[in-house]
Structure 1
């Protein structure tokens, strides 16, 4: 079972990395929603054009936006 180091680092199990195609040097994104930590592999160009039609709400914080998107 992975443990958190004193530097707050986590080593991901190799079988999980292989299943997701995560290689040394790859960039990942992590976020917390509903008390769960989620880690995803960043893929260049994966969201290109995805938000073209979305209008920003400057009154909403990033955290509020993330939480509303996950509901």
Structure 2
């Protein structure tokens, strides 16, 4: 199990969190997602390391910007 943390900018509410969660959950191998608009953090648990570019693209698809923390 691998855990990776990202900083997400632009989230302000629960709907924002849900949008990010929805897009990131589509990535293969993701087993758990914790996303918080208050802290601007996205923590992903996965079976194996995820491709950072794929995670950043998923967050971008949700309408936000991210960087690996």
- Which band: TM-score by shorter chain? under 0.3
Q: From the two aligned structures, give the one with the greater strand fraction.
A: 2
Larger RCO (CA under 8 A, 6+ residues apart): 2
Q: From the two aligned structures, give the one with the greater helix fraction.
A: 2
TM-score normalized by the length of structure 2: 0.26
Q: Which has the larger radius of gyration?
A: 1
TM-score normalized by the length of structure 1: 0.26
